[in-house]
Amino acid sequence: MASSPRHFTRPRSLAHHSKWPMPLRLHGSVTLKLVVPLLFVAAWSTAITCISFFFYDLGIKDASAWIPGFIVGILLTFRSTTANDRYNEGRKYWAQLNQTSQGLARLIWIHVDERHEKDVVLGKQDLLGKISCLNLVAAFAVALKHKLRFEPSMQYDDLKHLVGHLDAFAKSVEQPKETKQNPFKTAGQFLGLSMAASNPRKLTKDARVPLGNLPLEILSHLCAYLKTLFNNGTFKTGTCQVHSLRALNTMNDILGGTERILNTPLPIAYSIAISQITWVWILLLPFQLYRSMKWVTIPASIFAAYIILGIALIGREIENPFGYDVNDLPLDAFCDQIRQDIDIIMCRVAPVSDDFITHEANILLHPLSQLGSKTWAEKTVEEILTALAVKPSLHYPKADHNKRPKMQPTIRNRKMDDDDDAERGEASAGVGADLGGTESGGDDSD
């Protein structure tokens, strides 16, 4: 298992697999960030225990001292629930972005015509325009990722080749230069010390030029491209036009929703109160345990602090699910997936339905028959419908096929419908005559 600081400080890769038992894993655990707090708790509980054993008993007799523990539990539950809600909401937005990007890319690639037959130059422009549009769809996800991480430039390796040609505010923002970090600060960040943490908004806070909103500007360029398609008549289907515009609106909603999660954290008053009450409870814990546990107070206090501080730290870590913490959302993997899906859509010419429907390898009635589509095309409609009527029985292998009701296939057409209507009319007349005869017979008998 790797042991580099990057291994413990970057979002966990979806492809990562560990054979270690879950209780022994460090990657993704908050254990390393609890080393310093637990050392302090160990020293504190040792001091209280030694004073109580050798000098003066500091133990608490009143059992009501346990009441604050219930309050701590409520506060930690509130914190964890809020953080989990924000994490899940962020994940849903990115899943929705993946789905919307696939749908928009598919609409553009298949339903936008390429005018190769009219003019070779126009056809080539249409093709290059579709490729540019789909690249911008992939660029939106990457730009959103960097925006949520307070990285305003477009000069990143995974972004500049996608949007470098756009006239956007981020084009004038220089990429920050990598500087050698102080080893003490690196160690402090590795151990989760808040005093060593850098301000994530530093780049946006110290900016001297307008930063703009790159994801929003990409949506504007996509909307302009759709307008061009509508005007030149290459995007003809009205429903597809509506769906494409709706997809852009959905992407805009995703942008606003993720920004809302990012810019509306848990109110600072709650965070401060939860932290203060938690630490007061931990510091009072040795006084509560000494009377009943004596020297066991030390490990018991450390273990209790590990539970309480661990839950609180997990809630704080996933409160912003878009950062670089191990348990944050793997945004890089999400962007790569969107890029791969779009490349898959673009890798082939838009398929023509006749090419795959009439292909001999198209086994239409498997497992009833291994014949291909071309072979079935030579058969009559009655034969095809007869085979379809038999096929459902194959799903019940234990059924008695000899007692299976035989379904007679029918071919519906206008002539047969007219004949059926005539038959129903004659039958109705016959029933009416029978009813009339019965009534007459009744009258005669009376």
Work out the pLDDT band at 243, boundaries 50, 70, 90: very high
Within a domain: residue 352?
no
Other beta carbons within 10 Å of 296: 12
Same domain, 301 and 374: no
Q: What's the pLDDT at 188?
A: 57
Taking only Cα atoms into account, the Rg of the chain, rounded to an integer number of angstroms, comes to: 35
Alpha helices in 17-176 (DSSP H): 35-54, 67-111, 120-148, 160-163
The number of folded domains in the chain is 2
Please, which residues have CB within 8 angstroms of residue 49's CB and are 6 or more apart in sequence? 286, 290, 294, 295, 297, 298
Q: What's the pLDDT at 60?
A: 78
- Is the pLDDT score of 29 beyond 50? yes
- Is the pLDDT score of 375 beyond 80? yes
Among 79-88, 306-315, 402-411, which stretch is predicted with the lowest mean pLDDT? 402-411
| Average pLDDT for 29-57 | 89
| Average pLDDT for 84-95 | 95
Alpha helices in 264-408 (DSSP H): 268-293, 297-318, 331-346, 353-357, 373-377, 381-390
Within a domain: residue 411?
yes
- Is the pLDDT score of 332 beyond 60? yes
Same domain, 324 and 400: no
Q: Whole-angstrom Cα distance, residue 323 to residue 320?
A: 7
Same domain, 93 and 144: yes
Residue that terminates a domain, selected from 316, 346, 376: 346
Same domain, 287 and 391: no
Work out the pLDDT band at 134, boundaries 50, 70, 90: very high
Q: What's the pLDDT at 216?
A: 95
Same domain, 201 and 276: yes
Q: Whole-angstrom Cα distance, residue 368 to residue 443?
A: 61
| Average pLDDT for 393-402 | 70
Same domain, 268 and 331: yes
Within a domain: residue 353?
no
Within a domain: residue 258?
yes
Give one word for 112, left, alpha or beta, with left for phi > 0 and alpha for psi -120 to 50.
beta
Q: Which residue has the higher pLDDT, 176 or 345?
A: 345
Please, which residues have CB within 8 angstroms of residue 296's CB and are 6 or more apart in sequence? 289
The candidate with the shortest Cα–Cα distance to 189, out of 178, 199, 179, is: 199
Q: Which residue has the higher pLDDT, 289 or 261?
A: 261
- Is the pLDDT score of 252 beyond 60? yes
- Is the pLDDT score of 340 beyond 90? yes
Winning range, highest mean pLDDT, from 72-81, 215-224, 312-321: 215-224
Q: Whole-angstrom Cα distance, residue 68 to residue 155?
A: 52
Within a domain: residue 355?
no
Q: Whole-angstrom Cα distance, residue 207 to residue 203?
A: 6
Same domain, 405 and 323: no
Instruction: Name the DSSP class of 55.
Output: T
Residue that terminates a domain, selected from 281, 312, 346: 346
Work out the pLDDT band at 399, boundaries 50, 70, 90: low
| Residue located via tokens 């993997």 | 333
The percent of residues above 70 in pLDDT, for the chain, comes to 76
Q: Which residue has the higher pLDDT, 99 or 352?
A: 99
Q: Whole-angstrom Cα distance, residue 229 to residue 117?
A: 17
The whole-angstrom distance between residue 435's C-alpha and the CA centroid of its chain comes to: 67
pLDDT averaged over every residue in the chain: 81
Within a domain: residue 382?
yes
Within a domain: residue 373?
yes
Q: What's the pLDDT at 404?
A: 53
Q: What sign has the CA pseudo-torsion 2, 4, 7, 9?
A: positive
Work out the pLDDT band at 369, boundaries 50, 70, 90: confident
Residue that terminates a domain, selected from 298, 314, 346: 346
Same domain, 113 and 243: yes
Work out the pLDDT band at 126, boundaries 50, 70, 90: very high
What confidence tens digit (pLDDT) does each residue in 275-288 have? Answer: 888 998 899 889 88
Q: Say what angle helices 297-318 and 35-54 make with each other, to 10 degrees.
A: 150
Residue 145, φ and ψ in degrees, nearest 5: -60, -50
| Average pLDDT for 148-164 | 89
- Are the beta carbons of 404 and 383 closer than 8 angstroms? no
Q: Whole-angstrom Cα distance, residue 324 to residue 197?
A: 12
Same domain, 160 and 98: yes
Same domain, 96 and 156: yes
Within a domain: residue 307?
yes
Same domain, 309 and 382: no
Tell me which residue range forms the domain holding 395.
360-436
Q: Whole-angstrom Cα distance, residue 138 to residue 136?
A: 5
- Is the pLDDT score of 201 beyond 80? no
Q: What's the pLDDT at 445?
A: 39
Same domain, 300 and 387: no
Residue 287, beta-bridge partner list: none
Give the angle 40-41-46 at the CA atoms, nearest 5°.
Answer: 100
- Is the pLDDT score of 12 beyond 60? yes
